[in-house]
Amino acid sequence: MDVLPKSSRTRLKAVVALSLAFAAGSVDIIGFISFGHVFTAHLTGTTVHLGEQLIRAEWCKAAEGFGLIICFIGGSIVGRAAIEVGSRRHFRSVANATLMLEAFLIAIVVLFSRHEVLALILLAAAMGVQTATLTRVGSLTIHTTFVTGMLNKLAQLLSHASFLTYDAFRGKDGAATSRRKFLLEARFIFGVWFMYATGAVIGTWTRLRWGVPALVLPAVLVSILAILDLISPLAIEEERDQSER
């Protein structure tokens, strides 16, 4: 049974998505600074570097990059599997478990910070879990651990809004209402990018002052979001997608 009306749930999920984007930006930059300048959420860059490393016969680095990609995929599979189980068994709350797993994986890196490869593996797995946990806000498909797709979506929404502005100027019925919808969605997508960038800024600042323990900040934030899921389940749309396949 839903605790909140759909509109309230959508607003809540939007806040959670923005918070997760902040956490991902922090984790990505803290991991980058701390462990060999390797991204654990931005795997486009990791993949590009993998190609370079293969050509340069840097086999150890290539193996590390490939391992991170596998761990990210593994974390995402775990997240999706949890949602599948939640859908089949009609669990009230699923995101709670996946977000707590993510927070645990991030926090435990503090204890294993001297083991660079292990730390990178744990962070990549955590980002994979987060990617699978929250994929929908209303009608929008979102990604909170990487923003290239979000910027592309932002461009699409702004393009639609510009044409609808022209249609509204010519008096076309419904154009103004549709334009407002697209602009609101564009504002949210911009917010995802902005929070990711803000997470990177704060993550850099805390890393330079606290070292690797700065990862505690995003871990605590994700834990709070996990507790929030107990009050209002967040993965309803994701579970419905699974049950309607």
**Secondary structure class of 140 (helix, strand, coil):** strand
DSSP reduced 3-state for 66: helix
- pLDDT value of residue 4: 46
Buried b (16+ CB within 10 A) or exposed e, 140-169: bebbbbbbeebeebbeebeebbeebeeebe
Distance CA 117, CA 112 (A): 10
| Collapsed DSSP state (helix, strand, coil) of residue 94 | coil
What is the tens place of the pLDDT at every residue in 162-195?
999 988 888 888 888 888 999 999 999 999 999 9
Query: Token pair 């549709």 is at which residue?
Result: 178
What is the per-residue pLDDT for 235?
Answer: 60
pLDDT at res. 243: 43
Is 17:234 a contact under the CB 8 Å cutoff? no
* pLDDT attached to residue 6: 59
Report pLDDT for 189: 94
- What is the per-residue pLDDT for 242? 47
205/221 Cα distance (integer angstroms): 17
| Annotated domain spans of the chain | 6-243
Q: Which of 6, 215, 59 is nearest to 122 (CA)?
A: 215
Q: Which residues pair with 137 in a beta bridge?
A: 140
**Helix, strand, coil % over all residues of the chain, rounded to 5:** 80, 0, 20
Residue 105's contacts (CB-CB under 8 Å, 6 or more residues apart) are 75, 122, 123, 125, 126, 129
Global pTM exceeds 0.75 = yes
Per-residue pLDDT, 241? 53
Instruction: Using 50 as the pLDDT threshold, list the residues of the chain that sit under it.
Output: 1-4, 242-245
